[in-house]
């Protein structure tokens, strides 16, 4: 089953045939992750780089990645704007709900507040680079009623740094992933074999020493 899934994922024609389903799924997850739902944003971004390479016929075409960047940044910014809007509309009142208490922790609030005290609006840029604090950073910007244009600008600049990194990682995974996995599986197999042999020798020596000690202690 796993081999079939991997074979489909690395198949350029499969990616091309299912491009609509793949992209709709990626864009929805990116949007939902922006305002607090527990979906790691980095995973769909990496998949975006991966499937872009595959849908390009296993080739790197730079302008395809420009299109991909534009496609993924739009739902990211929209999701972040939702978080900003929630903070601006309800402030810290949402902490009375258990779900938001998990996102807006005392420790996280103190850390983000220190950032805002030291770096001002640049904190939005920093928050975009830290997975566990993105929502809280953008939510806090809303509670502080940061200028909307300034918020979008710093958030977009943050995307200019982080998004290409994950797209590039996905591209290299698509290009070299099968070789990496085969090499890893071969390496793991050899390590496992050596470990078994060493363990067997160790158990044999231990049993021999124990038998000798018991023989010497016998009356």
The whole-angstrom separation of Cα 111 and Cα 182 is 42
More confident call, 27 vs 196:
27
Q: Are 42 and 164 in contact (CB under 8 A)?
A: no
| Residue bearing tokens 């070789």 | 179
Q: Give helix 134-143 / helix 106-119 axis angle, nearest 10°.
A: 70
The alpha helices in the chain, defined as continuous H runs, are 2-9, 12-17, 19-34, 42-55, 62-90, 98-103, 106-119, 122-128, 134-143, 148-217
How many other CB atoms are there within 10 angstroms of residue 180's CB atom?
Answer: 12
First to last CA, the chain: 61
Q: Are 175 and 167 in contact (CB under 8 A)?
A: no
CA atoms within 13 A on the CB side of 160: 8
The whole-angstrom separation of Cα 26 and Cα 23 is 5
Inform me whether the pLDDT recorded for 8 exceeds 60. yes
CA 136 distance to own-chain centroid: 17
Mean pLDDT of the chain, nearest integer: 85
- Mean pLDDT, rounded, for 69-96: 95
Where do the structural domains in the chain lie, given as residue ranges? Answer: 2-177
Q: Tell me, what's the pLDDT at 162?
A: 92
Q: Give helix 134-143 / helix 62-90 axis angle, nearest 10°.
A: 50
The tens digit of pLDDT for each residue in 13-40 reads 999 999 999 999 999 999 998 877 777 8
CA atoms within 13 A on the CB side of 125: 11
Q: Tell me, what's the pLDDT at 189?
A: 47
Instruction: Please tell me the pTM assigned to this model.
Output: 0.79
- Mean pLDDT, rounded, for 177-199: 55
- Mean pLDDT, rounded, for 78-83: 96
User: DSSP string covering 168-210, please?
Assistant: HHHHHHHHHHHHHHHHHHHHHHHHHHHHHHHHHHHHHHHHHHH
């Amino acid at each position: 089953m796993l081999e079939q899934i991997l074979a489909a994922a690395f198949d350029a024609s499969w990616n091309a045939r299912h491009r609509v389903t793949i992209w709709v799924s990626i864009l929805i997850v990116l949007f939902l992750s922006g305002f607090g739902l527990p979906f790691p944003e980095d995973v769909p971004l990496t998949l975006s780089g991966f499937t872009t390479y595959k849908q390009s016929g296993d080739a790197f075409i730079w302008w395809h990645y420009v299109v991909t960047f534009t496609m993924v940044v739009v739902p990211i910014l929209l999701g972040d704007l939702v978080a900003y809007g929630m903070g601006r509309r309800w402030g810290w009142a949402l902490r009375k709900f258990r779900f938001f208490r998990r996102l807006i922790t005392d420790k996280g609030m103190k850390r983000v507040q220190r950032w805002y005290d030291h770096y001002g609006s640049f904190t939005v840029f920093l928050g975009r680079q830290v997975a566990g604090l993105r929502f809280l950073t953008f939510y806090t910007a809303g509670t502080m009623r940061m200028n909307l244009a300034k918020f979008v600008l710093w958030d977009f600049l943050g995307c200019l740094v982080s998004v290409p990194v994950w797209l590039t990682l996905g591209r290299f995974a698509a290009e070299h992933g099968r070789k990496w996995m085969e090499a890893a599986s071969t390496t793991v197999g050899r390590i496992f074999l050596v470990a078994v042999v060493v363990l067997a020798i160790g158990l044999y020596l231990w049993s021999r020493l124990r038998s000798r000690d018991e023989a010497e202690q016998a009356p």
